Amino acid sequence: MRFLLKVIVNAVALWLTTLIVSGVSVQPYSSGAAAAVLTYLLVALIFGVVNAIIGTVIRIVAIPLYILTLGLISLVINALLLLIVSWISGLIGFGLHVDGFWPGVLGALVLGIIAWLLDLLLRPFTRRS
């Protein structure tokens, strides 16, 4: 249940990010509202898998860079993860499109902030009794 809620939160955060950042967009697989929602959920699922597998490995390997840059390297790493998701969804033929590295950095920053805020709002509902 928590995984599904996390995917939904990431999908909403991604949708809001595409409204705010001009270099980040999502191309649905067909026209219609249901196709757009399903595309956002699929991209959020891909982002979660990439972040869990590749992101974890990169963060472990980059621990010295985290220390050296006082954590600012996380902006670059999150942008690269967003670009990887864009590449994977491009292979599928629909989904996330990032125009370049700097829109990826801004998109990753906005996506992270929005997902964090939504997580804060939903935290009382996800706690175990």
The residue-averaged pLDDT of 51-56 equals 93
Flag whether pLDDT at 128 surpasses 70.
no
What does the mean pLDDT of the chain come to? 91
The residue-averaged pLDDT of 66-92 equals 93
The residue-averaged pLDDT of 42-54 equals 93
Distance between CA atoms of residues 71 and 108, nearest Å: 15
Residue 68 has a pLDDT of 95
Q: Are 95 and 27 in contact (CB under 8 A)?
A: yes
**48 closest CA partner among 111, 104, 101:** 111
pLDDT tens column, 88-127: 998 988 889 999 999 999 999 999 999 999 999 988 877 7
The angle subtended at Cα 64 by Cα 66 and Cα 101, nearest 5°, is 50
Q: Where are the domains of the chain?
A: 2-126
Number of other residues whose CB lies within 10 A of the CB of residue 72: 10
Distance between CA atoms of residues 53 and 47, nearest Å: 10
Q: Which pLDDT band holds residue 69 (cuts at 50, 70, 90)?
A: very high
Question: Which tokens is 29 given?
Answer: 């697989």
Residue 129 has a pLDDT of 52
Question: Which tokens is 82 given?
Answer: 């967003």
pLDDT tens column, 6-24: 899 999 999 999 999 999 9
